[in-house]
Amino acid sequence: MAKDKAKIVVKDLNLWYGDKHALHNLNIEIQKNKITALIGPSGCGKSTFLRCLNRMNDLISSVRVEGEVVIDGKNIYDKDVDEVSVRKRIGMVFQQPNPFPKSIYENVAYAPLKHGSVKKGSDCDDLVEQSLKSAGIWNEVKDILKEPGTGLSGGQQQRLCIARTIAVKPDVILMDEPTSALDPISTEKIEALMLELKKDYTIVIVTHNMQQAARIADMTAFFHLGDLIEYDETEKIFINPTHKKTEDYITGRFG
Amino acid sequence: MATFESKHRYAHLQEDVIKYLLILAATISILTTFGILFSIVFEAIEFFQLRSFVYFFTGTEWTPGVENSKFGALPIFAGTFMITAIAMAVALPIGLGSAIYMSEYASKNQRTILKPLLEILAGIPTVVYGFFAAITVAPFIVKISAAVGLEASFNSALASGVVMGIMIIPYISSLSDDVITAVPDSLRKGSLALGMTKSETIRDIVIPSALPGIISATLLGISKALGETMIVVMAAGLRPNLSWNLLEDMTTVTVRIVDALTGDQAFNSPATLSAFALGLALFFVTLVLNVVSVRMIKKFKEKYKMSSL
Amino acid sequence: MSKIKKNKKNVFYDPSLKRRHFKSKLFKYFTLSSLIVSLAFLAIFFIDMVVKGSSAVQQTYVQVEVSYNEQSAENYRDAVDKKYLELLSRAVLREIPMQIKKNPSLLGTTKVAWMLADDQVDMYMKEYYYKISNKDLATLTELIENGRVEKKFNTIFFTHGDSKTPEYSGILSAMIGTILTLAVAMFVAFPIGVATAVYLEEFSEQNAWSEFLEVNINNLAAIPSILFGLLGLAIFINLFGFPRSSALVGGLTLALMTLPIIVVSSRAALRSVPATIRQAGYGLGLTKVQVVKDHVLPLAFPGIMTGSIIGLAHAMGETAPLIIVGMIAFIPDSPTSVMEAATVMPAQIFTWAGMPERAYIERTAAGILVLLTVLISLNAMAVYLRKKFEVKW
């Protein structure tokens, strides 16, 4: 694990929901252009941790975060960091596909236009096309760009959401169980897409599906009751875990 | 066995009687609607036998009291439209703004206090608003206008329009608050995760999603404004006035209905019957507004699978 | 976010966000201020009514010597010193001959009494605009100096009906009229409304007929109230020949207006009773009517009551349709039956608001305060009922 390849360095991260201590002293380094999977039983804190990486937890008023999440040399919880700017650079894809009730084109173009990264016109058209191509959905939607994004199938919607995220040109894409609401064929397409995307992006994915982690992740972190139990290369975690708890979970003894 | 049989039959009879009584009760509401429709239509037909139908909708002179009375309702419709427009200009931004604050910014506890507080505005009898408009707001407008060198009538359209707007605020805010709250949170999160600010998320994602409901609330508000009677009877004028000047006195459909039916004219005179012609126009416009409004909210409910609104 | 400094090392520094955050704040302040404006309207409105109406709590009385003699038995003008005549309420003076007729033993006596003052004197004492001649004003000033003018609690307002003399007018007849009218309205609307709700929720099948009923009830709720007045006029008065201005006609008209409110809230109450209650009833071999009557209705009752009280409050504030059916007549004496001409609180407010005398303004505002107090109490009662009987299934 070469230090210079670390994209995100988490130091002593603690999180409370009101009085409930939900994440305990997490330390983890997430590497650039790799897929990192976060696994663990329900309520282990893996999704909460994911939301710490783009400060989505700020939206819940009872949440308190301590510790550091250093991205590109800057702690995103520093007072002089704007969470809106963090979310611009750290994109997120959710469990339920959530396209906006706008046209497919507008779904993708909305954020870049607002950020001022493109102007309306051919630049914007190019960006939309590029993003939809990167998300592997261009061929399916290129003739229906004016139609509402909510009219697509679940798997298409999720790829549209990925395109929408890519269009903002983030460095990191966080994915919160992106395929758990999809059928196997759509899931396969999205997994293939992720392997494609990791050339350009750092991807962190929360998944319930251990096979999925094994198939696509370079690194895997196992969470249990708010603790990071084990973090290593995926192969090592699945074949030869250090901790008993990890092994129990991997072999399906709980979860 | 015989007793069992007869008891059974008796129970059945009782069931049927009660069921038919219930149906009868349910029919009353239908009878009411048709009662309103027919009582208005028949008298309106009688009116149009005496006076021109076309002139009623296109004429600009309304002179019921004199010989050779004329019934051109255009200035009355115009006055109604103006006052409604003023009311909506007040109620829509304030009502929608309040709804957005309550649903997006206020805490849950604040919302449970704020919403009923605003709804008090809807519970105040309209006659009370009328008094407020006539005694407090209208003289105030006259004074302000005089201060800037304008002349305002004590029956200005502005006074009744503004007060009517205040009355309609809760109709807009309550329904809008309901639909905005019903917009799924996943849409907000999706937008915020793209690096949008909160207000951009509200303006670009939440409001457009809630739009059918907001339009529905607006139509309902317009329907309320068109049919509102007491405020205009007390604070607006009687003079049919085709004008764009909000500081002038204007009259409305409802004012003329009240005026026509509280005068001492014979019931079968065109002056009295004109009330029913105006009532018919009011009935149809408000009916259409309401039907469209219900359609829109139904569409919204289906879209987001809301069960109660 | 305003704390963001220029920092070369801060990769998250984005100057373009400053404007967007500013706009975001602006938007929030716009929504907040519209809420504040709405609440301010409410506050201004209540303050205005209290300011205008509070002076009606007291009424001015003047202490004068009243003589009951042959002359005053014929002409009330002889009952008091001529110079006080303009300062006293005509309405009270006019009753003196009648008092003597009723009670002849009064003849030949004199007594010093607190007599109700004329409305202009009352306005003078309350420091409003007044119209009193200089001569009378001098007399009044002298009386005040001698402590013979006093403001006392205004009992007349609550114990008398309407009057052409403002100082002698009260809300009693309008209150009685309101009670009679609402009694008729609820007597008709409650059973029909609840029965309609029971039919729609428990008995009718989902078909075109029930859908038509439902759409119809929705539309009924949105019909402008004045059109119900046209119905009342055309059907109840012209067709059925019920007496104009009577509580009966007014009550029937209001009943039809209240119907949709009761139906909608009763349906919601019935719907909130879980299906398991019904299934349990059927399981015991009960008929549908028995299940509804003995099990579903009692459980839905608090909700039905809540809705009915809200409907009642609605009907209580309604004016326009009642004006159309003639309930704005001048009614000094309280009606004793639903067939007599009557007026209601809001109609009384409407009539007073249109009076030219300044003294009616405070009475109008006071009447409004009484009406609002009753309405708010009714609504508070509804909320209390809902809270108390709220069951989470």
Please give, rounded to a whole number of angstroms, the shortest distance from the CA of C36 to a CA of chain A.
24
Q: Nearest-CA neighbor of C12 among C23, C1, C20?
A: C1
- Phi-psi domain of B202 (left: phi exceeds 0; alpha: psi -120 through 50; beta: other): alpha
**Looking at beta carbons, which residues of chain A come within 8 Å of B204?**
110, 114
Residue whose tokens read 């505005």: B121
Residue ranges of chain C that CATH labels 1.10.3720.10: 172-389
Is the residue at B17 inside a domain? yes
**CB pairs < 8 Å spanning A and C:** 42
Confidence (pLDDT) at A2: 43
Identity of the residue in B107, B186, B193 whose CB atom sits nearest the CB atom of A96: B186
Q: What is the pLDDT of residues B92-135, one digit of tens each?
A: 999 999 999 999 999 989 998 998 899 899 999 999 999 999 99
The Cα-based distances of A157 to A36, A56, A98, A193 in angstroms read 23, 22, 7, 14
CB within 8 Å of chain B, chain C residues 247-276: 256, 259-260, 263
CB within 8 Å of chain B, chain C residues 23-42: 23-28, 30-35, 37-39, 41-42
Average pLDDT over residues C233-244: 92
Average pLDDT over residues C228-237: 93
Please give, rounded to a whole number of angstroms, the shortest distance from the CA of C319 to a CA of chain B.
7
**Confidence check on the interface: ipTM exceeds 0.95, yes or no:** no
Neighbouring chains of A at 3+ CB pairs within 8 Å? Answer: B, C
Confidence (pLDDT) at C391: 67
Contact B193 A87 (CB under 8 A): yes
Neighbouring chains of B at 3+ CB pairs within 8 Å? Answer: A, C
Q: What percent of chain B has pLDDT over 90?
A: 70
Same domain, B40 and B117: no
Q: What is the pLDDT of residues C277-326, one digit of tens each?
A: 899 999 988 888 889 989 999 999 989 999 999 999 999 999 999 999 99
Same domain, B40 and B85: no
Closest-approach residue (CA) in chain A for B208: A101
**CB pairs < 8 Å spanning B and C:** 252
Closest-approach residue (CA) in chain C for A75: C10
Looking at chain B, the number of H-run helices and the number of E-run strands are: 13, 2
3-state secondary structure chain A: CCHHHEEEEEEEEEEEECCEEEEEEEEEEEECCCEEEEECCCCCCHHHHHHHCCCHHHHCCCEEEEEEEEECCEECCCCCCCHHHHHHHEEEECCCCCCCCCEHHHHHHHHHHHHCCCCCCHHHHHHHHHHHHHCCCHHHHCCCCCCEHHHCCHHHHHHHHHHHHHHCCCCEEEEECCCCCCCHHHHHHHHHHHHHHCCCCEEEEECCCHHHHHHHCCEEEEEECCEEEEEEEHHHHHHCCCCHHHHHHHCCCCC
**Looking at beta carbons, which residues of chain C come within 8 Å of A80?**
3-5, 7, 10, 13
Q: Say what angle helices B207-227 and B270-304 make with each other, to 10 degrees.
A: 160
**Can you tell me the distance from the alpha carbon of C23 to that of C30, in angstroms, rounded to the nearest whole number?**
10
DSSP H or E stretch at residue B237: none
- Report whether pLDDT(B288) > 70: yes
- Start-to-end C-alpha separation, chain B: 52
3-state secondary structure B23-35: HHHHHHHHHHHHH
Confidence (pLDDT) at C77: 86
Contact A81 C4 (CB under 8 A): yes
Contact A74 C12 (CB under 8 A): yes
C65 three-state secondary structure: strand
Contact C13 A89 (CB under 8 A): no
**Can you tell me the distance from the alpha carbon of A69 to that of A86, in angstroms, rounded to the nearest whole number?**
11
Query: Would you call A33 an interface residue with chain B, using a CB distance cutoff of 8 Å?
Result: no
Contact B190 A94 (CB under 8 A): yes
Between C175 and C211, the higher pLDDT residue: C175
Domain holding B76: CATH number? 1.10.3720.10
**Looking at beta carbons, which residues of chain B come within 8 Å of C29?**
none
**Looking at beta carbons, which residues of chain B come within 8 Å of C368?**
128, 131
Task: Give the amino acid at A197.
Answer: L
Mean pLDDT of chain B: 90
- Report whether pLDDT(B66) > 50: yes
| φ and ψ of C151, to 5 deg | -100, 125
| C172-389 classified as CATH 1.10.3720.10 | yes
Domain ranges, residue B34: 2-50
The edge-to-edge listing of strands for the beta sheet with A74-75 is A20-31, A6-17, A63-71, A74-75
**Looking at beta carbons, which residues of chain A come within 8 Å of B187?**
98, 100-101
Assign B6 a pLDDT band (cuts: 50, 70, 90).
low
Contact A80 C7 (CB under 8 A): yes
**Can you tell me the distance from the alpha carbon of A4 to that of A11, in angstroms, rounded to the nearest whole number?**
16
Contact A84 B189 (CB under 8 A): no
- Report whether pLDDT(C5) > 50: no
Task: Give the amino acid at A115.
Answer: H
Number of separate domains in chain B: 2
Same domain, B159 and B42: no
Q: What is the pLDDT of residues C52-99, one digit of tens each?
A: 999 999 999 999 999 888 888 888 888 888 888 889 998 888 888 888
CB within 8 Å of chain B, chain C residues 129-188: none
Measure the CA angle with vertex B213, ends B209 and B215; round to 5°. Answer: 105
Q: Strands A202-206 and A35-39: what pairing?
A: parallel
Contact B93 C31 (CB under 8 A): no
The edge-to-edge listing of strands for the beta sheet with A219-224 is A90-93, A172-176, A202-206, A35-39, A219-224, A227-233
Residue whose tokens read 């798997």: A155
Is the residue at B190 inside a domain? yes
Confidence (pLDDT) at A255: 60
Q: Nearest-CA neighbor of A137 among A160, A154, A153?
A: A160
CB A205, CB A175: distance < 8 Å = yes
Assign C198 a pLDDT band (cuts: 50, 70, 90).
very high
Q: What is the pLDDT of residues C358-372, one digit of tens each?
A: 899 999 999 999 999
- Report whether pLDDT(B2) > 60: no
Same domain, B201 and B98: yes
Same domain, B125 and B158: yes
* Residue of A78, A81, A83 for testing the chain C interface, max C β-carbons within 10 Å: A81
**Looking at beta carbons, which residues of chain A come within 8 Å of C4?**
80-82
CB C318, CB B124: distance < 8 Å = no
Please give, rounded to a whole number of angstroms, the shortest distance from the CA of C74 to a CA of chain B.
37
**Can you tell me the distance from the alpha carbon of C47 to that of C285, in angstroms, rounded to the nearest whole number?**
60
Q: Residue B151, exposed/middle/buried by CB under 10 A (0-12, 13-18, 19+)?
A: exposed
**CB pairs < 8 Å spanning A and B:** 60
Q: What is the pLDDT of residues C97-134, one digit of tens each?
A: 888 888 888 888 888 989 999 999 999 999 888 888 99
What class, spelled out in words, does domain A3-103+170-250 have in CATH? alpha beta
Is the residue at B199 inside a domain? yes
Identity of the residue in A79, A82, A114 whose CB atom sits nearest the CB atom of C14: A82
CB within 8 Å of chain B, chain C residues 328-387: 328, 346-347, 349-350, 353-354, 361, 364-365, 368, 371-372, 375-376, 379, 383
| φ and ψ of A50, to 5 deg | -60, -45
Listed range (A224-233, C145-154, C207-216, C371-380) with the worst mean pLDDT? C207-216
Contact B194 A54 (CB under 8 A): no
Chain mean position to CA C142? 41
Please give, rounded to a whole number of angstroms, the shortest distance from the CA of B147 to a CA of chain C.
22
Average pLDDT over residues C260-289: 90
- Start-to-end C-alpha separation, chain A: 29
**Looking at beta carbons, which residues of chain A come within 8 Å of B107?**
61
Same domain, B217 and B109: yes
Confidence (pLDDT) at C79: 87
CB C348, CB C332: distance < 8 Å = no
Identity of the residue in B25, B121, B262 whose CB atom sits nearest the CB atom of C192: B25
CB B199, CB B97: distance < 8 Å = no
Average pLDDT over residues A127-131: 95
